[in-house]
A = this chain, B = another copy of it.
Amino acid sequence: MNAEIISIGNELLIGQVINTNASWIAEQLTKIGFTISHITTVGDNKSDIINVLRQVNIRSGLVLITGGLGPTSDDITKPALCEYFETDLRFDDNVFKYICEFLALRNITVNDLNRKQAEVPTSCKVIYNEIGTAPGIWLLKDTTIFIAMPGVPFEMKQMMEKWILPELQKTFALPVIQQKTLLTHGIAESKLASNLSKWEEALPENIKLAYLPSPGIVRLRLTATNNDKQHTEQLLQLHLNQLHKLVADYFFGYDDDTMEEIVGKLLIKKNRTFSAAESCTGGNVSKMVVSVPGSSEYFKGSIIAYSNKTKIYNLGIDATLIIDYGAVSKPVVEAMAKSCLSIFGTDYTLAVSGIAGPSGGTAEKPVGTVWIALAKKGGVVSELFHFGDNRERNIQKASMAALNMLRKELLNDK
């Protein structure tokens, strides 16, 4: 079933706000089986809105509209809808009751502008807004459903998730679509694509693979489409198992998992504690670990040793090691990890020392050279990485690689 999205708002046309609403709606509609043909953005201008409504493709069964439902004179979506649907505004007592209750909870007095928000096109079905004052509007023209929603992202999302998506699934005969995403670390997108190309080419029509890269992670999303739930699930599971085998060396999680959450869960499961000695990542590994609620259960602390002096005096690194091998070296990063392990008395310590850039690189150790060590009571291991020339990405990639070393170790921890 074809669908279109219309976004209304001057702030989108001057580039002040990125249209994340349209992407989110497109993703949700695609997930339940719609095919989006157009996304159109227009300003808060009645004739432009009406013209865009007139241009809706006759094959589209659904048009989702956001924005311009606020109470001020800028907000022109309702008058535009009335003109296009040849209807008037009526005052809706139920909507007004919702608005009064919403404002009363916040100790706000109802004013004339709020009353105006209770006006809806006469021929529409109302979608009540539980977390804002602008109601949603559901209208029908020939066989096309038009739904107008507020542009405030969390109000729109709540309306979509709670009312509109379930209602659309009841209204339209949509194919069953299921998705699952595998998260990989430690392999570039191009390498992954070349490893998987044969398998991908042989995929049946109704299963699709998408690559979603971000620094240090490539997400592999499988989408299965079929006519009933059971067959779609089987189709997805079959190909998921195949894909899992093909990327097993790099796989670390599913869907919305993050590396820091997975590491945190493993630390709790194995009843282990963690600390870090960071140089080039400057606190980013610790910051990632702490971003997980409840991390105080396993994370004890870190030493950010950004200068050689700090490495020597606060981490107790032998100065001759730094003189002989340099701060970015196997002996120094291993000494950092071992020293930090004993300072904090934790089960595991990660240490990171590298050249984030843009300066500090040499022919022998160019920008992007990073040593990472993992210490535990039994000893220490370390690994050399070569990232790129972008400082921010090097910090992110080094942090991810460090946490991944800990993750792998924890999987083998009895």
Contacts and interface: CB of A to CB of B under 8 A. Distances in A.
Contact of A43 (B37, B287, B357): B37
Contacts of A30: 13-15
A301 interface: yes
A290 B282 contact: yes
B48 A26 contact: no
Interface stretch (A79-87, A94-102, A196-204, A306-314): A306-314
Given A55-B55, A286-B282, A291-B391, A13 B36 contact: yes
Contact of A283 (B35, B48, B284, B300): B284
A301 B305 contact: yes
Given A19-B18, A26-B15, A28-B15, A282 B293 contact: no
A236 B108 CA distance: 37
A16 interface: yes
B38 A48 contact: yes
B36 A314 contact: no
A285 interface: yes
A25 interface: yes
A409 interface: no
Interface of A: 12-20, 22-30, 35-43, 48, 52, 55, 210, 212, 276, 278, 280-287, 289-291, 293-296, 299-307, 309-310, 314, 343-344, 356-360, 391-392, 395
Contact of A307 (B282, B301, B304, B306): B301
Contact of A212 (B16, B360, B392): B16
Given A14-B30, A30-B14, A343-B314, A283 B304 contact: yes
Given A18-B23, A28-B15, A304-B301, A291 B392 contact: yes
A301 B300 CA distance: 17
28 contacts: A13-B37, A13-B38, A15-B24, A15-B28, A15-B30, A16-B210, A18-B18, A18-B19, A18-B20, A19-B22, A19-B39, A22-B41, A37-B42, A38-B40, A40-B40, A40-B41, A282-B289, A283-B283, A283-B285, A290-B356, A290-B395, A293-B357, A293-B359, A296-B306, A301-B314, A302-B303, A302-B304, A314-B344
Nearest to A299: B306
Contact of A286 (B36, B294, B304): B304
A376 to B, nearest CB: 19
A15 B23 contact: yes
A16 B22 contact: no
A281 B282 CA distance: 13
A344 B15 CA distance: 45
Nearest to A43: B37
A300 B291 contact: no
Contacts of A37: 13, 42-43, 48
Given A14-B30, A282-B287, A283-B285, 16 more contacts: A13-B36, A14-B27, A15-B25, A15-B26, A19-B39, A38-B41, A276-B304, A280-B290, A282-B289, A283-B290, A286-B306, A291-B392, A300-B307, A301-B305, A301-B307, A303-B303
